[in-house]
């Protein structure tokens, strides 16, 4: 996999540190509520602080999808940058964050439907496309971005969107068949997710653990993301916010994903941002298999950008690079 040449990247805008998103929900049949954070649109003229090649009104909006057992707040470092250039929304997947956690309906079609409902409900996409053909304006399009499990959901969403998708960005996930790369079954994967008791003994212990991953990038946004992932119980310790059944169903959905069946059907450009963890080369082989499947479908190759020495949470560790990759599609 090629290492990204940062000299060729679009410059990332500086973060809008004063911005605060608004929280909303969309309601899907049979009443499931999906929560999202709407970070709004450009807060300064794009020509002064971002790419200059397209008017802001013509740029695709961006939908951000978090990873397993996380929430929309994990995207704050990237959203603060993107909002200077285009409209950006981060959703809570069903079973996560402030979204409802039904006991069923975690299948690919439903997860993609949730994402599209958020895109339409937030105004990133038009609800009624029929009228666009008669107007002398571009039809709204969307860049879908996902991290880990969210990258899988983003890929399913991109397929469902068809020509309404302007690009798909896979942030350290979405190109692997997990049974092949991990050698695990869903039940084994779930056991690997268990936190040590000492980390969950108090909210302070939990936050200290998360801050310790990289003290230089720990800030108020990272603390908010960490707090949103757990619930403090009366006894004083914390438990994951995601309900056990929602976690299990989400992991089953992850293991059902076959990138060789999905990625070749995506009509839009695909960018994959790859963190460093790949001890046995299984992830690199998975990317080669994904590229081969895309090539057999006569689609352009996935644009792979690697980050040696950087952990899974690329939004936290390299937000400028993640933002630049998204803007490379959104402003292209």
The Cα–Cα gap between 72 and 76 comes to 8
Instruction: Give the pLDDT band of residue 59 (cuts 50, 70, 90).
Output: confident
Query: Is CATH 3.40.50.1820 what the domain over 6-330 is classified as, yes or no?
Result: yes
So what's the pLDDT on residue 261? 97
**What are the backbone dihedrals phi and psi of residue 171, each rounded to the nearest 5 degrees, phi first?**
-100, 100
The Cα–Cα gap between 67 and 107 comes to 16
Owner of token pair 């285009």: 86
DSSP at 259: H
The residue extents of the domains of the chain are 6-330
Which stretches within the chain are classed as H helix?
A: 46-49, 76-82, 108-121, 149-161, 178-182, 186-192, 203-212, 220-228, 244-256, 259-262, 282-296, 314-317, 319-330
Q: Which residue has the higher pLDDT, 25 or 282?
A: 25
End-to-end, the C-alpha distance of the chain in Å comes to 23
Owner of token pair 């605060």: 20
> What percentage of the chain has pLDDT greater than the value 90?
83
Instruction: Give the pLDDT band of residue 77 (cuts 50, 70, 90).
Output: very high
Q: pLDDT tens digits, residue range 281-323? A: 899 999 999 999 999 999 999 999 999 999 999 999 999 999 9
So what's the pLDDT on residue 47? 39
So what's the pLDDT on residue 315? 98
Is the model's pLDDT at 127 over the cut of 80?
no
The Cα–Cα gap between 66 and 15 comes to 19
In this prediction the pTM is 0.92
So what's the pLDDT on residue 138? 58
Is the model's pLDDT at 69 over the cut of 90?
yes
Q: Which residue has the higher pLDDT, 280 or 267?
A: 267
> What percentage of the chain has pLDDT greater than the value 70?
89
Is the model's pLDDT at 50 over the cut of 70?
no
For the ranges 37-51, 64-78, 133-147, 216-230, the lowest mean pLDDT is seen at 37-51
Cβ of 237: how many Cβ atoms within 10 Å? 17
So what's the pLDDT on residue 57? 56
Q: pLDDT tens digits, residue range 90-105? A: 999 999 999 999 999 9
């Amino acid at each position: 996999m090629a290492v990204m040449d940062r000299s060729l990247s679009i410059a990332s805008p500086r973060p809008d540190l004063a911005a605060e998103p608004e929280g909303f929900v969309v309601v899907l049949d049979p009443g499931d509520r999906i929560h999202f954070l709407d970070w709004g649109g450009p807060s300064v003229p794009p020509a002064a602080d971002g790419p200059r090649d397209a008017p802001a009104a013509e740029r695709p909006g961006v939908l951000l999808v978090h990873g397993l057992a996380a929430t929309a707040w994990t995207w704050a470092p990237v959203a603060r940058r993107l909002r200077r250039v285009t409209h950006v929304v981060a959703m809570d997947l069903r079973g996560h964050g402030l979204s409802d956690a039904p006991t069923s309906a975690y299948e690919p079609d439903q997860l993609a439907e949730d994402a599209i409902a958020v895109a339409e409900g937030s105004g990133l996409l038009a609800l009624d496309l029929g009228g666009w053909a008669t107007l002398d304006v571009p039809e709204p399009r969307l860049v879908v971005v996902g991290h880990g499990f969210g990258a899988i959901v983003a890929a399913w969403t991109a397929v469902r969107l068809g020509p309404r998708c302007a690009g798909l960005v896979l942030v350290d996930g979405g190109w692997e068949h997990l049974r092949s790369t991990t050698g695990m079954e869903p039940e084994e994967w779930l056991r690997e997710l268990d936190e040590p008791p000492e980390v969950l003994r108090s909210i302070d212990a939990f936050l200290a653990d998360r801050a310790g991953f990289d003290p230089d990038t720990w800030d108020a946004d990272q603390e908010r993301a960490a707090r949103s992932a757990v619930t403090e119980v009366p006894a004083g310790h914390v438990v994951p916010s995601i309900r056990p059944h929602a976690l299990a169903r989400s992991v089953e959905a992850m293991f059902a994903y076959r990138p060789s069946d999905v990625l070749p059907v995506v009509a839009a450009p695909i960018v994959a941002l790859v963190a460093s963890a790949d001890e046995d080369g299984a992830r690199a082989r998975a990317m080669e298999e994904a590229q081969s499947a895309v090539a057999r479908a006569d689609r352009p190759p996935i644009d792979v950008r690697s980050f040696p020495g950087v952990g899974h949470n690329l939004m936290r560790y390299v937000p400028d690079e993640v933002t630049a990759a998204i803007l490379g599609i959104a402003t292209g």
